[in-house]
């Protein structure tokens, strides 16, 4: 099994929802939306350029991530929905994965990251045609948007102020996916999570 977009694991590394009844606002997930200071160990290589969030847990990472997915969907055309999928581009993938934030997976108690993988369904036009909606929606939220059509024409990415990364990407078969990667959190903060919403429908 693989991350749907393996580069996410290396690179990933104002919050009112359009539909507040669909998912918790990030402001409602305690005070965990402000990154805390963390000094990396120079002898280790990390999969994220951002600090480990000492105030984040797997549970709150998922709650915040789902809220960002809801908000993103609310900025897209109403025909679109999100569904979990364990297949992407003809291969098996994790629809939800928690993995170490260090390249060396044998590091004791290494910090962890959360990855969520949804398929965008209901498209009425070619998948890449929705990139403008992703870009304009994310920018309206104040998120940092990265899109290099001459380098990666099938991928557009946004980073939230608290270091969650969302990536919309198009497969070789024309499917549209939406992936989310959380900041790293302490190993001891794993567990106690609810099932993921499936599907996530347009508000």
Is 0.85 surpassed by the pTM of this model?
no
Return the residue matching tokens 């499936």: 198
Which run of H or of E encompasses 70? Answer: helix 58-74
Provide the token pair at 190: 């794993």
Pairing of strands 165-170, 176-181: antiparallel
- Mean pLDDT confidence for 47-53: 80
For the chain, domain boundaries: 8-189
- Mean pLDDT confidence for 143-163: 95
Span 8-189 CATH architecture: 2-Layer Sandwich (3.30)
pLDDT, greater one: 71 or 16? 71
Under the banding of pLDDT at 50, 70 and 90, the label for residue 39 is low
What is the per-residue pLDDT across 90-129, written as a single tens digit (0 to 9) for each?
Answer: 887 888 989 888 777 777 888 899 999 999 999 999 999 9
How far is Cα 96 from Cα 99, in angstroms, rounded to an integer?
10
- Mean pLDDT confidence for 4-12: 39
Under the banding of pLDDT at 50, 70 and 90, the label for residue 181 is very high
- Mean pLDDT confidence for 171-194: 93
Under the banding of pLDDT at 50, 70 and 90, the label for residue 41 is low
CA 48 to chain centre: 13
Q: Which of 148, 82, 84 is closest to 121 using CA atoms? A: 82
Percent of the chain with pLDDT over 70: 77
- List Cβ neighbours of 121 (8 Å cut-off, separation of 6 or more): 80, 81, 82, 83, 199
- Mean pLDDT confidence for 118-142: 96
Which run of H or of E encompasses 97? Answer: strand 96-100
Q: Which of 53, 49, 202, 59 is closest to 137 using CA atoms? A: 202
Under the banding of pLDDT at 50, 70 and 90, the label for residue 45 is low
């Amino acid at each position: 099994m693989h991350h749907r977009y393996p580069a996410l694991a290396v690179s990933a590394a104002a919050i009112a929802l359009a539909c507040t009844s669909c998912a918790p606002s990030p402001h409602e997930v305690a005070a965990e939306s402000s990154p805390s200071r963390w000094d990396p160990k120079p002898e280790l290589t990390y999969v994220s350029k951002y600090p480990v969030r000492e105030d984040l847990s797997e549970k709150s990472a998922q709650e915040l991530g789902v809220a960002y997915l809801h908000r993103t969907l609310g900025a897209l055309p109403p025909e679109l929905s999100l569904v979990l999928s364990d297949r992407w581009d003809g291969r098996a993938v994790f629809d939800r994965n928690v993995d170490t934030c260090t390249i060396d997976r044998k590091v004791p108690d290494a910090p962890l990251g959360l990855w969520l993988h949804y398929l965008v369904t209901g498209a009425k036009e070619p998948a890449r045609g929705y990139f403008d909606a992703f870009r304009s929606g994310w920018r309206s939220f104040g998120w940092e948007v990265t899109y290099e059509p001459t380098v990666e024409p099938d991928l557009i990415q946004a980073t939230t102020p608290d270091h969650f990364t969302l990536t919309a990407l198009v497969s070789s078969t024309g499917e549209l996916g939406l992936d989310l990667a959380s900041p790293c959190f302490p190993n001891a903060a794993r567990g106690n999570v609810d099932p993921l919403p499936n599907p996530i429908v347009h508000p």
